[in-house]
């Protein structure tokens, strides 16, 4: 079977060094395609200014690419494998990994049996150069490799291994490095039958730590179909302001440690990321995402992959998922404020309407970094998100919104119009179509924890407060104080969420159970979301959405 791929044609790759392959890709693709697929070396200095102004203060410069001469591939083992879905998870997968030194002819083998890896695909090389760092005074070169697999069979487990000249995953010596991935079931009208139940997991703000590794171990035990990471991925940029001054605290090699840490999960489970403020890395591009585009291979079906590459969507069984870039609307950290010129929000509404009119989709899940509703002492709520997106979440009755940014677990009651529309204590059930939207902050994945000004309240430790004094960020970074009643669960401890989805027949109610687990597996919160199958938004609306409504 001939699998379409992105990269250097195999006949050429066989005669090219890694550096030559890189130069081939740079010269072959247009600027738009290069930025979409990442088949370039960014390695550019954004000297002076901030990231979100829309104009770089220095033109990107090609990064030096190390020669493969003298590299013994048998002594170089691939590291940091991580998977992601393509735009269609039933037929498209992306496999990514890293090598600690430039190697010759990197490739991927895959097949349906571990003893039959007959499909061999040349990898796309994305070499990333970071100039001399402040801490060490030495430059860093990193080598990220990617393969796009298309036309896979739905609902099928594949075995895969990654290698290069001198290291073949199909050999007896390297067979222990093999891993697997599984495609989603085919997209089709499912009212005559029901999808099998499945689980996915989510958190934000992980970084590298013993607590981060502990969460990963518990996540793997849930056997999730995919994992959502709501921004602030590894904290190589410790400052997180999106300014040139962040370079002083930047440590590129933190990415090496992060990808090695998450490999136990990400080599088997698609690790889908959105971008947070600590992911705007000033070394690489005007918008700060140049480095991320080298390390991750995300779907490019958002409004503008060049400007907001972390914005995309995919559908898994009866759940539609949307990743957003909240840096685009953040008043608190405005480095990339307005970077999409409103395109992201317009795309979001079109996508929400499409999903609500998709007869195979019951639930809509949205994840992004900055919190729409939180009461922590450190960041609280982002007014830019409330203004730009919350009205759309309410209009289309999004079923679950997942945020990070605040390093705690917090969950709201159901909200409409910035007020409680239904109380949702632990163990309760909510129907967004009539009750409103519930927001979850799951930002305690591994970085140092934040605090609440109100006491913690969670399962087995209830201490509910009728109202909480807090604030949100308004335009200009102004803190606006407010007293709110929607903060239902607060837990100051390392944690993540798992979501168990149980689809149902037409006319019945599909279920999505959201559970918060501490890093030791202890349950600290749970509630259930219900949605009647076949319930959707009436598409007979004008461009303003007026005249529409909910229908069965």
Candidate from 27-36, 317-326, 458-467 with smallest mean pLDDT: 27-36
DSSP 544: T
What is residue 131's predicted lDDT score, i.e. its pLDDT?
A: 87
- Under 8 Å between Cβ of 339 and 311: no
What is residue 174's predicted lDDT score, i.e. its pLDDT?
A: 73
Output the six-digit token pair for 463: 């201490």
Confidence of residue 550 (pLDDT cuts 50, 70, 90): very low
Render pLDDT for 310-331 as a digit per residue (tens, 0 to 9).
999 999 999 999 999 999 999 9
Render pLDDT for 340-376 as a digit per residue (tens, 0 to 9).
999 999 999 999 999 999 989 999 999 999 999 999 9
What is residue 12's predicted lDDT score, i.e. its pLDDT?
A: 54
Mean pLDDT of the region 502-516: 95
How far apart, in whole angstroms, are the C-alpha atoms of residue 66 and residue 56?
Answer: 26
Beta-strand runs (E) in 338-477 = 363-367, 381-382, 400-403, 409-412, 414-416, 419-422, 429-430, 439-442, 468-474
How far apart, in whole angstroms, are the C-alpha atoms of residue 413 and residue 503?
Answer: 24
The b/e string for 512-546 (b: 16+ C-beta within 10 A; e otherwise) is bbbbbbbbeeeebbbbbbbbbbebbbeeeeeeebe
- Under 8 Å between Cβ of 519 and 215: yes
Q: What is the DSSP string of 214-253?
A: HHHHHHHHT--S-EEEES--S-SBSS-S-BGGGGGGB-TT
What is residue 134's predicted lDDT score, i.e. its pLDDT?
A: 66
Confidence of residue 536 (pLDDT cuts 50, 70, 90): low
Mean pLDDT of the chain: 87
Residues 6+ apart with CB under 8 A from 224: 199, 200, 201, 269, 498
Mean pLDDT of the region 177-189: 89
Under DSSP, is residue 28 helix (H, G, I), strand (E, B) or coil?
A: helix
Output the six-digit token pair for 390: 């919350």
Mean pLDDT of the region 392-416: 98
Mean pLDDT of the region 425-451: 98
Render pLDDT for 194-235 as a digit per residue (tens, 0 to 9).
889 999 999 999 999 999 999 999 999 999 999 999 999 999
CA atoms within 13 A on the CB side of 210: 1
Confidence of residue 463 (pLDDT cuts 50, 70, 90): very high
Output the six-digit token pair for 153: 């069979």
DSSP 335: G
Query: Residue 440, exposed/middle/buried by CB under 10 A (0-12, 13-18, 19+)?
Result: buried
Output the six-digit token pair for 88: 């269609």
Confidence of residue 187 (pLDDT cuts 50, 70, 90): confident
Of 135, 127, 137, 138, nearest to 101 by C-alpha is: 127
Mean pLDDT of the region 160-185: 91
What is residue 290's predicted lDDT score, i.e. its pLDDT?
A: 95
How far apart, in whole angstroms, are the C-alpha atoms of residue 434 and residue 431?
Answer: 6
Mean pLDDT of the region 76-105: 96
Q: What percent of the chain has pLDDT over 90?
A: 77
- Per the model's pLDDT, the better-predicted residue between 29 and 195 turns out to be 195
Mean pLDDT of the region 448-470: 97
Render pLDDT for 109-135 as a digit per residue (tens, 0 to 9).
999 999 999 999 999 999 999 987 766
What is residue 538's predicted lDDT score, i.e. its pLDDT?
A: 53
Of 142, 163, 147, 37, nearest to 82 by C-alpha is: 147
Of 311, 496, 474, 338, nearest to 402 by C-alpha is: 496
Residue with tokens 């090219």: 16
Q: Where are the alpha helices (DSSP H) in 6-107?
A: 10-13, 18-28, 31-37
Query: Which CA distances in Å does 316 have to 3, 393, 534?
Result: 22, 20, 17
What is residue 52's predicted lDDT score, i.e. its pLDDT?
A: 31
Output the six-digit token pair for 256: 């090496």
- Under 8 Å between Cβ of 105 and 125: no
């Amino acid at each position: 079977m001939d699998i379409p791929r992105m990269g250097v044609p195999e006949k050429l790759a066989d005669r090219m060094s890694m550096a030559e392959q890189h130069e081939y890709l740079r010269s072959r693709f247009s600027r738009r395609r290069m930025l979409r697929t990442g088949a370039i070396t960014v390695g550019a200095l954004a000297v002076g200014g901030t990231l979100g102004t829309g104009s770089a203060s220095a033109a990107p410069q090609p990064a030096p690419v190390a020669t493969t001469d003298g590299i013994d591939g048998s002594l170089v083992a691939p590291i940091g494998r991580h998977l992601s879905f393509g735009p269609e998870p039933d037929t498209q997968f992306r496999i990514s990994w890293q090598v600690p030194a430039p190697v010759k002819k990197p490739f991927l083998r895959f097949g349906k049996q571990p003893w039959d890896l007959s499909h061999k695909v040349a990898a796309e090389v994305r070499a990333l150069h970071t100039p001399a760092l402040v801490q060490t005074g030495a430059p860093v070169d990193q080598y990220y490799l990617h393969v796009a697999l298309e036309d896979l069979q739905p609902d099928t487990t594949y075995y895969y291994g990654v290698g290069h000249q001198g290291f073949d995953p199909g050999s007896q010596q390297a067979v222990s490095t093999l891993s697997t991935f599984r495609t989603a079931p085919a997209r089709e009208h499912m009212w005559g039958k029901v999808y099998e139940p499945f689980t996915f997991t989510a958190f934000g703000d992980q970084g590298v730590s013993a607590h981060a590794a502990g969460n990963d171990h518990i996540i793997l035990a849930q056997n999730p179909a995919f994992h959502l990471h709501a921004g602030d991925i590894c904290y190589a940029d410790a400052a997180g302001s999106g300014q040139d001054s962040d370079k002083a605290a930047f440590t590129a090699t933190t990415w090496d440690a992060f990808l090695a840490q998450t490999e136990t999960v990400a080599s088997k489970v698609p690790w889908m990321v959105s971008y947070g403020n600590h992911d705007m890395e000033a070394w690489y591009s005007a918008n700060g995402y140049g480095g991320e585009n080298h390390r991750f291979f995300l779907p490019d079906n958002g409004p503008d992959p060049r400007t907001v590459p972390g914005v995309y969507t995919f559908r898994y069984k009866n759940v539609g998922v949307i990743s957003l870039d909240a840096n685009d609307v953040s008043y608190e950290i405005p480095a990339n404020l307005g970077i999409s010129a409103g395109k992201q929000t317009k795309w979001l509404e079109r996508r929400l309407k499409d999903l609500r009119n998709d007869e195979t989709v019951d639930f809509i899940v949205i994840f992004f970094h900055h919190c729409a509703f939180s009461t922590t002492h450190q960041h609280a709520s982002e007014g830019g998100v409330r203004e730009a997106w919350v009205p759309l979440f309410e209009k289309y009755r999004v079923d679950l919104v997942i945020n990070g940014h605040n390093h705690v677990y917090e969950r709201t009651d159901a909200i409409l119009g910035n007020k409680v529309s239904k109380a949702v204590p632990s163990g309760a059930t909510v129907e967004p179509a009539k009750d409103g939207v519930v927001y979850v902050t799951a930002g305690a994945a591994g970085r140092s924890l934040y605090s609440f000004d109100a006491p913690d309240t969670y399962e087995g430790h209830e201490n509910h407060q009728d109202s909480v004094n807090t604030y949100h960020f308004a335009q200009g970074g102004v803190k606006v104080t407010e007293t709110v009643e929607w903060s239902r669960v607060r837990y100051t401890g390392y944690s993540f969420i798992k979501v168990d989805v149980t689809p149902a027949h037409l006319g019945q109610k599909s279920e999505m159970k959201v559970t918060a687990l501490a890093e030791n597996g202890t349950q600290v919160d749970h509630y259930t979301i219900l949605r009647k199958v076949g319930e959707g938004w009436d598409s007979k609306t004008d461009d303003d959405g007026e005249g529409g409504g909910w229908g069965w």
